[in-house]
Amino acid sequence: MPSVPAIHSKLPHVGTTIFTVMSRLAAEHGAVNLGQGFPDFAPSPELPELVAKAMRAGYNQYAPMEGVMALREGIAAKTQRLYGFAPDPAGEITVTSGGTEALFAAISAVIRPGDEALVLEPCYDSYIPAIELNGGVAVRVPLSPGTYAMDWERLERSLTRRTRLLLINTPHNPTGTILTAEDMGKLAALLNGTDIFLVSDEVYEHIIFDGQPHWSALREPALRERAFVISSFGKTYHTTGWKLGYCVAPPALTKEFRKVHQYLTFSSFTPVQYALAEYLQEPAHYLELPRFYGQKRDYFLELMAQTRFRMLPCRGSYFALASYAHLSEEPDYDFAVRLTKEAGVASVPVSVFYQDRTDHKILRFCFAKQEETLERAVERLAKV
C-alpha cells in the first residue's frame, strides 16, 4: 500500500465555525434559527431584476480584477455623501468576494512572519486565522467586561515594536456596540507616529440606531492614510449569499491589497456588480436602513421583555445580546445547544468570540428576521 503523507494543519485549533454548527443543529431539531447572521426576508424586488437585466445584457464574463468601474464610482459617491471623503475609484477602491475575502486580503497585505496584530475580543472569527496563516501573532485585547467599551489603557500597553496591525469593528459583531467620534480621535492619537496599519471592519455601517452617525475611519484623515476600510453589500442589501463587498484604502495600500486579491478570487460575480452600480444611484436604498433595522431591534427587544432573559444594549449591527446568568450556571455553549434542542431556538454563545472561551453567560441573537420569525422564537424562549 502506498503511504499517505501526514497533514500538519496550519490551523490546528480551528474547527467548523460556530455559525455552521448552530445552523446545522437548528435544521436537525426544527429550531428557529436566530444564530447565524442572515436575513430570512427577500431583498428589494428591484435588485434581482437588475441582476437578471445585467445577465441578459451579456455581463457574464470576468469583471475587471479591481471591480466594475461604475460600481467603484458609486462607492466613491456614497463615501463622499456619508463621510465627506471621495476615494479615487481607480486607485483606492477594490470590489471583493464578500467582506471576509477583503479582511483576508488586507491582513495578508501587511502581516509578515513574526508581526503582531492586535484584535479586540470578543471578535469575529475570521480575524485570527487570517493573521496566523500569514505567520503573524494575534495579540488579544479584551474589551471592557459588561459594556464592551474600548479599554484604552490596556490597548496602549499592548503596543510593542512588533505591532504591525490593529483590527477594529464598528458597529461591532457580536456586541452591537459602536465607536464614536471621540473613540476615533483617541485611536488616531494612539497610532500617531507609529508604523501600525489599521483594518476597520465596517460591514454594518448602515445598521446603526438611535440617531447615531456611523463614525467611519474614513472620516479621520490621520486614520484613513493607514487604513483598509471594509464594507459589505450583502449586509446592506439583505443578500449575504451574493458575497460582494469592497475595500477602501490609500493607493499604496490598495496596490498591495490587490496583489493578494488577484490570487484569492481575481474578480467577483460580474452581473451583481452591474446591478449594484445601478441600485446605488438611489441613496434611499441605504439611507433608510437605520430606520428599517431599528424597528426590528425595537420589536425584538419588546418581545424579549416577555422572557426571563436580560437584554444588553444594542447600538448597531443586527445582533442583540442576552444574559442568562441568573437562569443557569451552564457554560454558554452547552446552554445554547440545549436551548436549540429543547426550546427550539438557535443562538450563538458569545464565548466562541474569545480565544480562551471567556464565558459571561451571554448569547447572541440575530434579529434580521421577519416579525413572524421573531414572534415564533420568543414564544418558545418565554417558556425557558
Q: What is the DSSP string of 259-283?
A: HHHHHHTSS--HHHHHHHHHHTTST
Question: 100-147: per-residue pLDDT in tens?
Answer: 999 999 999 999 999 999 999 999 999 999 999 999 999 999 999 889
**CB of 52 within 8 A of CB of 255?**
no
Q: Are residues 51 and 36 in the same domain?
A: no
Q: What is the CATH number of the domain that holds 336?
A: 3.90.1150.10
Q: What local confidence, expressed as pLDDT, does residue 67 receive? A: 98
Q: What is the mean pLDDT of residues 142-171?
A: 96
Give dist(CA 312, CA 176) in Å, integer. Answer: 9
Q: What local confidence, expressed as pLDDT, does residue 178 receive? A: 98
Give φ, ψ of 88 to 5 degrees: -75, 120
DSSP state of 25: H
For the chain, how many structural domains are there in total? 2
Q: Are residues 88 and 136 in the same domain?
A: yes
Element (H, E) at 228: strand 227-232
- Given a cut of 90, whether residue 92 has pLDDT beyond it is yes
Question: 57-75: per-residue pLDDT in tens?
Answer: 999 999 999 999 999 999 9
Q: Does any domain span residue 109? A: yes
Q: What local confidence, expressed as pLDDT, does residue 82 receive? A: 97
Q: Are residues 61 and 26 in the same domain?
A: no
Give dist(CA 169, CA 177) in Å, integer. Answer: 9
Q: Are residues 205 and 118 in the same domain?
A: yes
Q: What local confidence, expressed as pLDDT, does residue 245 receive? A: 98
Using CA atoms, how far residue 296 sits from 26, 139, 366, in Å, is 22, 35, 10
Look at residues 241, 256, 285 and tell me which one is the last residue of a structural domain: 285
State the residue for C-alpha cell 464574463: 61
Distant-in-sequence, close-in-space partners of 228: CB < 8 Å, separation ≥ 6 = 102, 106, 109, 197, 198, 199, 200, 247, 248, 249, 253, 257
Q: Does any domain span residue 5? A: no
Q: Does any domain span residue 3? A: no
Look at residues 285, 312, 331 and tell me which one is the last residue of a structural domain: 285
Q: Which domain holds residue 341?
A: 18-43+288-381
Q: Are residues 142 and 182 in the same domain?
A: yes
Q: What percent of the chain has pLDDT over 70?
A: 99
Q: What is the 3-state secondary structure (H, E, C) of 114-151?
A: CCEEEEEECCCCCHHHHHHHCCCEEEEEECCCCCCCCC
Q: Are residues 223 and 362 in the same domain?
A: no
Q: Does any domain span residue 13? A: no
Q: What local confidence, expressed as pLDDT, does residue 75 receive? A: 98
Q: Which three cell numbers stand for residue 363?
A: 448569547
Q: What local confidence, expressed as pLDDT, does residue 187 receive? A: 98
Q: Are residues 269 and 369 in the same domain?
A: no
Q: Are residues 110 and 193 in the same domain?
A: yes
Q: Are residues 238 and 164 in the same domain?
A: yes
Cis peptide before 43 (omega within 30 of 0): no
Q: What local confidence, expressed as pLDDT, does residue 145 receive? A: 87
Give dist(CA 231, CA 207) in Å, integer. Answer: 12
Q: Are residues 177 and 305 in the same domain?
A: no
Q: What is the CATH number of the domain that holds 184?
A: 3.40.640.10
Q: Are residues 22 and 50 in the same domain?
A: no
Give dist(CA 91, CA 88) in Å, integer. Answer: 6
Look at residues 256, 285, 314 and tell me which one is the last residue of a structural domain: 285
Distant-in-sequence, close-in-space partners of 369: CB < 8 Å, separation ≥ 6 = 34, 39, 40, 41, 296, 377
Q: What is the mean pLDDT of residues 265-290?
A: 97
Give dist(CA 23, CA 348) in Å, integer. Answer: 10
Q: What local confidence, expressed as pLDDT, does residue 19 receive? A: 83
Q: Are residues 84 and 225 in the same domain?
A: yes
Q: Is 32 helix (H, G, I), strand (E, B) or coil?
A: strand
Q: What local confidence, expressed as pLDDT, does residue 17 receive? A: 82
Q: Does any domain span residue 8? A: no
Q: What is the mean pLDDT of residues 216-228?
A: 97
Question: In 3D, which of 167, 168, 94, 96 has the Cα closest to residue 131?
Answer: 167
**Position 41, amino acid:** F
Q: Does any domain span residue 228? A: yes
Q: Does any domain span residue 10? A: no
Distant-in-sequence, close-in-space partners of 365: CB < 8 Å, separation ≥ 6 = 34, 35, 300, 319, 320, 321, 322, 347, 377
Q: What's the pTM value of the predicted model, to 2 decimals?
A: 0.96
**CB of 121 within 8 A of CB of 293?**
no
Q: Does any domain span residue 9? A: no
Question: 168-219: per-residue pLDDT in tens?
Answer: 999 999 999 999 999 999 999 999 999 999 999 999 999 999 999 999 999 9
- Given a cut of 70, whether residue 1 has pLDDT beyond it is no
Establish how many alpha carbons lie within 13 A of residue 169's alpha carbon, considering only the half-sphere containing its beta carbon: 26
Burial 344-368 (b: 16+ CB within 10 A, else e): bbbbbbbbbbeeeebbebbbbbbbb
Beta bridge partners of 33: 346
* Cα-trace Rg, the chain: 21
Longest dimension (CA), the chain: 68
